[in-house]
Each structure stands twice: as structure tokens, then as C-alpha cells.
Structure 1
Amino acid sequence: MALSVSVSVERWPVAGSFVISRGTKTHVDIVKCEIEDGGYIGAAEATPIYYEGESAEQCAEEITQFVAKHPAPDRSVLLHHMRRGAARNALDCALWDLERRKKDKPLWQIAELPNPKPLATAFTISLGQPEIMEAQAHQAALDGHGLLKLKLSGQSDHERVAAVHRGAPNARLIVDANESWNDLDIAAEAERLKKFGVELIEQPVSAGHDHLISGVNSPVPLCADESCHTSADVERLAPFYDAVNIKLDKAGGLTEAMAIAHAAQAMNMKIMVGCMLSTSLGIRPAFALAQLAQWIDLDGPLLLAKDRDERFEFEAGHILPPDNGD
């Protein structure tokens, strides 16, 4: 039986601006997908992976065209016939949401994930001048955030991390090099940052240049982000990285994201679950998966000027399970 699928593009303003090495964002465009079947409606959203050339309009059109060819898609059909990316994420997660509503069971249960508990989530400090990042870190600590994630650029990184440490001396720190350390001595950079409490370094080198990490004895664990898209990548990356950062938009849905997590566990790699800029609707399936992770970075809704009415609650740097038990 054909499913009724509707797709829309929404624009959500960022609180101030969100700055990384690739540029500044003042808003995020997301694609929202709703699937209706027998009076039940499953909903999900996805954020286009802009650095891979995706746009919300393109993702919406991709969903529309796919459903026209596959009017009764299931998650297996998506995995085999739809390309990885935000469009597939929106469809995949909407199907999961539809299933949980039809079965009247929480998502974690039907996905066979752990019973959700509150999780300490990182709060992102945008790339900026050290004194600005220091002030942002100080305010974040006052707001109760005990885990901060810093955006770096490969230039003046030591000064930026030192400044954040001054602003929030008791905070745990994650840094995201955003592929900017290709020409640096990674072990030496990690050694300099370790004294400030940095406990994870994301994507130090460009995706596809992971061999640059070969033989590097880093005192801080290294995490693959842009290098890791699907479960098929994990075995290849295991010799270079200690962890993988799983994002549902990057993986193309919760189904493939769970496969990545299980593959990482099989290779004794640690797991980080992250997100793009998004509302709480986009975070909902990621929160279920994050119960398997050692590091959680699900602050997307906190970086927006507003969130949906049905939203996650954040308290003392933790994201709390939703009231419906998902």
C-alpha cells in the first residue's frame, strides 16, 4: 500500500551566529518529512550536509522523486536504493517514528537500544578570537555546561584552547580541528592541548587523507568525523582513529547510524554521537542512539534562536529523556 508522504523546507534562525572554519551561519534550513499511514503520522527532520553540496530544496526534491518511484518504501529499500545523506535521513527517521506510533512503543524499544537516561552533552564554542571564545566559555560554564566543544582552524589553536580553559577551567573539552591539521605535527599539537583537559580531537586531517595519522602516537584520542559516513568505513579507519563521530544526516538515517555504532563496538572503537544545527525533532532519534556513546554532542537546538514546541529539556549541561519515554 502506498504511503502518504509530505515534505517541507523550514528555516530556523541561529542564536547570534555559528562560526566554524568553513564560514558563518545565521540560520539553518532543514527538510521536514511526514509519513501518514492508517491515521498514524511519523515525522522527522534532516539538515543538509552543506559541505557535501546538499541544500534543503534539493533534499526535498530527492524525497519527492524517490517516493514517486517507491510509493511504499521501507528502511531496507532506502538503504539499497537511496543515496546516503540528509534526504535519506529524513525518510528513514520518519519511518522509525511511524513505526513507534503504530506500535505504541518508544523508539529505543523498537530499535533495541538502551533505556534512555539523561546524557551530558557538549556545548559548542564557535570559532573566534581567543578573548571572545574565553567569554563564551565562561558564560557556558555559568549556565551549567561541563563539557565544551571548540571549533578550531589550524591557526592559533593553542591560544584558543588556552583561552577557553581560562574561561571555564573546570570544563571537560573536545576540540574539532575540522580537517585543518594536515601540515601540522599532530602528536605535538595534541600534547600541547592535553594539559588544558582536552579529551578528544575530532577530524585532525582532511577526509581521504587519514594515512597522515599513520604512526602518530597521540596522547589524546583521535575521532573520525568527515572520514566516517557508513559502517563500511569503520574497519578502514580503525588503524588510524580511536573513535568515530556518528551523525544521522551524514549516515543517512538511524538505520545506518546504528550499523556504524555496532561496527565501531566490534572494532573496540569509542563512539561519539553528534548533530548538525537542528531542532529537537532532528535530535530525537540521535538521542536514542547516543545511549551507546562515550561522548555526546547534541546541542543543536541550544544554538538556535528558538526550538519547536515539543522540545528536549536541557538541565545543568545534560539533555533529558523526552516525556513520552523515547
Structure 2
Amino acid sequence: MMTILEITVERWPIAGTFTISRGSKTEAAVVLCTLRDGLYTGRGECVPYARYGESLDSVCAEIEKLRDALAAGATREDLHGLIGEGAARNAVDCALWDLEAKRSGKRVADIIGLPPLKTLTTAVTVSFGDAETMAASARAMADRPVIKVKVGGEDDEERIFAVAEAAPKSRIILDANEGWTDANIVRHMLAAAKAGIVLIEQPLPAGKDAILSTIPHPVPICADESAHGTDDLHNLLGRYDSINIKLDKTGGLTEALRMQKRARDLDFGIMVGCMVGTSLAMAPAVLVAQDADFVDLDGPLILKEDRSPGLVFAGSLVSPPEPQLWG
């Protein structure tokens, strides 16, 4: 049965502005991969990320290269020999999972062999800004169990203490997005420890993080930009305590599951995160997040509106996807 590929670029406005240390954005630009066989349809969504050399055009071109292979029946396992990790493979891999589920009449979770899926508690995000503005945002979220705070400035101590004071009952994660330096990391980490921060995500630039193996970790450190796929994990030993698994980095659910298993074997903690996208991008990640220490899948909450149907959020709780959405 021939599989027909469709590639669509979509733009989803953000509610306000989403800011990290590298810049701001007002929309989520995503690529939708749709696979049709005449009876069933599978979908996958990815978010191209300029930090990794991706653009809408480059990702669409990478997916387009797979058209003939998909028509000839290429499988998820075949993708690893046809295309590298990253957003393009993620969209196709997740669409193939969805198509397999629709054809078989089984949920993806059942195909994988997962226990019944549970509702998860996701972090919600405070954008980067001045300390006063960030504290106000944190105060508005102070009833949320987990808050992820974007930092990455030269002098973040004021931001750290301001948000911690504004949300004293929340577990707070700091995400520096590679914005700290060898000169300020110890100072920032000591401030984070004093403020009761529970995790620090990617404090230093990927490839320039050797100091992490020689300085104390008063707060556990999580690799994000340094951790793409399973092959990266061995090099992170001794530098990081946890890893952030994102399907747009791993190149799909298939590799994310491999990475998750290997990370547990190596005693890494696990966060499952996301780019800013719709519920279709989050849905496969919910399966990986069933065995995560931290869940950061609030992408749809940052948008003005989400897909319909989408994931069901109740405060910080996110329910497993329904088949009409994915899987």
C-alpha cells in the first residue's frame, strides 16, 4: 500500500512574547508531516530550531528527500539510515508511529508495551526579563507545583532570588540556555542553591562545558543543548546529573525511547522537554515522560490557541493524548 507524504508549514501565534537569553519570538513556526495510505492517516509535528542550524526550508527539504522511500514502505527503523537526528526525522518518525497505530487499531503506548498512561505534572515557564517582571510572572504562577525560569544573563542572582521569593511553594528549575560562563557559573550556582532551586538546565555552551566536571554541583545540572541522542550520553558522564530529552533533538519517539533507556542505565535523571509547538508535538513526548523526573511540556499553554482536539490541561496537569490527536 503506497504511502503519500504531505508537508505543511504552519504558524501559531504566541500569547504575548516568549523570551530566552538568545532572543524573543511571537509565533511558533512548525512543520506538519502527514502520511496517507488511502485508508489511514498519520501525523507528526516538528519545530525547526535555528540553534541547531535548522530552518523551515531546510527541514521541509529534508522531509521531501524521504518521499520515495516512504512511498516504497520505509519504516521507522529505516529512517535512521536515511536521515540524521533533528526536527525533520522527528516529524516523519512520529507520523509513522501514528499511522501504525491507526492501521493496527492499537494505541502507540500499547505497541511499545507501556503500562496504562498517567496524567503528568508539567512545568510552566517564566520568560527571561528583568527581575521585577520575572517575579511578577512567577507570583502569578505561585500555585503551580513546578516552574521553569529562563535565565542566562551576566548577573542572574537578582532574578534567581526574586522568582524564588515570589513562588516559595513551587519547585523551580533554572534554564540558562547556554548563557552562563566559566567566570560566573559558580556564583550563580551558589545563589541557586541558597534560593532552593531544584535543577539547573544547560548553564554553559555545548562543547564548552568541561568545567562542570571539576566544580561542585550544589544543585543538579541537566544537559539540554549538549544532549541530542543516545550516542551523546557517554560524553556527558561526570559533567551532568540529568538530561533533557526532546523529540526535536533525538529525531523522533523511536530514538527518544532508546535514549531514555540508556540514560537510566547510566543513572542520569531525566527531564522530557519541548520546543514551543502545538499539542501534536507534545503528544508523543507524553509517552516518554511517563518515566521522567521532570516534565516540561507546556508548549501549547504558551500559544494563543492550540489544535482541536488537543491535549487536555488542567492547571499544571496534562492528560495522555486521545487517538483523534495522535497515537
Please indicate the TM-score interval, normalised by the length of the shorter structure: over 0.9
Does residue 24 of structure 1 match 2:27? no
After superposition, residues 168-183 of structure 1 pair within 5 angstroms as 168-183=167-182
In structure 1, the residue corresponding to 2:218 is in which secondary structure? Answer: coil
1:140-167, CA deviations, whole angstroms, 9 ceiling, x for partnerless residues?
22xx422110111132311111111222
Residues 182, 212 of structure 1: 8 Å contact kept: no
Q: Hey, what's the Cα distance between the residues in 1 that align with 2:90 and 2:228? A: 12
In structure 1, the residue corresponding to 2:161 is in which secondary structure? Answer: helix
Q: Hey, what's the Cα distance between the residues in 2 that align with 1:75 and 1:5? A: 14
Q: Corresponding residue for 2:226?
A: 227
Letter in 1 for 2:299: G
Normalising to structure 1: TM-score of the pair? 0.95
Normalising to structure 2: TM-score of the pair? 0.95
Does residue 82 of structure 1 match 2:71? no
Residues 14, 302 of structure 2: 8 Å contact kept: yes
Q: Corresponding residue for 1:137?
A: 138
Q: Corresponding residue for 1:64?
A: 64
1:261-285, CA deviations, whole angstroms, 9 ceiling, x for partnerless residues?
1110010111000000000000000
Going from structure 1 to structure 2, the CA distance change for 1:114 and 1:240 (only over 3 Å counts) comes to: farther
Q: Corresponding residue for 2:216?
A: 217
1:205-261, CA deviations, whole angstroms, 9 ceiling, x for partnerless residues?
111123121122111111110001110111111221111000000111111111111
Residues 113, 289 of structure 1: 8 Å contact kept: no
1:58-112, CA deviations, whole angstroms, 9 ceiling, x for partnerless residues?
2122211222355322111111110211111000000001111111112211123
Q: Hey, what's the Cα distance between the residues in 2 that align with 1:246 and 1:107? A: 19
Displaced runs of 4 or more, over 6 A: none
Going from structure 1 to structure 2, the CA distance change for 1:139 and 1:284 (only over 3 Å counts) comes to: same
Residues 224, 241 of structure 1: 8 Å contact kept: yes
Q: Corresponding residue for 2:266?
A: 267
Going from structure 1 to structure 2, the CA distance change for 1:167 and 1:228 (only over 3 Å counts) comes to: same
Q: Hey, what's the Cα distance between the residues in 2 that align with 1:168 and 1:52? A: 33
Letter in 1 for 2:300: P
- 66-75 vs 122-131, which moves further: 66-75
Q: Hey, what's the Cα distance between the residues in 1 that align with 2:91 and 2:194? A: 41
- 280-289 vs 58-67, which moves further: 58-67
In structure 1, the residue corresponding to 2:240 is in which secondary structure? Answer: coil
Residues 3, 35 of structure 1: 8 Å contact kept: yes
Q: Corresponding residue for 1:320?
A: 319
Number of positions where the alignment pairs a residue of Structure 1 with one of Structure 2: 324
In structure 2, the residue corresponding to 1:131 is in which secondary structure? Answer: helix
Cα RMSD, aligned residues only: 1.6
Unpaired stretches in structure 1, ≥5 consecutive residues: none
Q: Corresponding residue for 2:113?
A: 112
Letter in 2 for 1:8: T
Q: Corresponding residue for 2:94?
A: 93
1:30-78, CA deviations, whole angstroms, 9 ceiling, x for partnerless residues?
0001111240101111000221221123212221122235532211111
Q: Hey, what's the Cα distance between the residues in 2 that align with 1:137 and 1:78? A: 42
Deviation of 1:187 after TM superposition, in Å, equals 4.0
Q: Hey, what's the Cα distance between the residues in 1 that align with 2:114 and 2:183? A: 39
Q: Corresponding residue for 1:128?
A: 129
- 80-89 vs 11-20, which moves further: 80-89
Deviation of 1:322 after TM superposition, in Å, equals 3.1
Residues 283, 320 of structure 2: 8 Å contact kept: no
Residues 67, 73 of structure 1: 8 Å contact kept: no
Q: Hey, what's the Cα distance between the residues in 1 that align with 2:51 and 2:115? A: 32
Does residue 33 of structure 1 match 2:33? yes
Letter in 1 for 2:249: K
In structure 2, the residue corresponding to 1:189 is in which secondary structure? Answer: helix
Residues 35, 99 of structure 2: 8 Å contact kept: yes
Q: Corresponding residue for 2:162?
A: 163
Letter in 2 for 1:198: I
Q: Hey, what's the Cα distance between the residues in 1 that align with 2:283 and 2:267? A: 26
In structure 1, the residue corresponding to 2:204 is in which secondary structure? Answer: coil
Residues 152, 203 of structure 2: 8 Å contact kept: no
Letter in 2 for 1:106: R
Letter in 1 for 2:259: I
1:143-199, CA deviations, whole angstroms, 9 ceiling, x for partnerless residues?
x42211011113231111111122211111000111122223534422211232211
Does residue 276 of structure 1 match 2:275? yes
Seq. identity, %: 44
Letter in 1 for 2:190: E
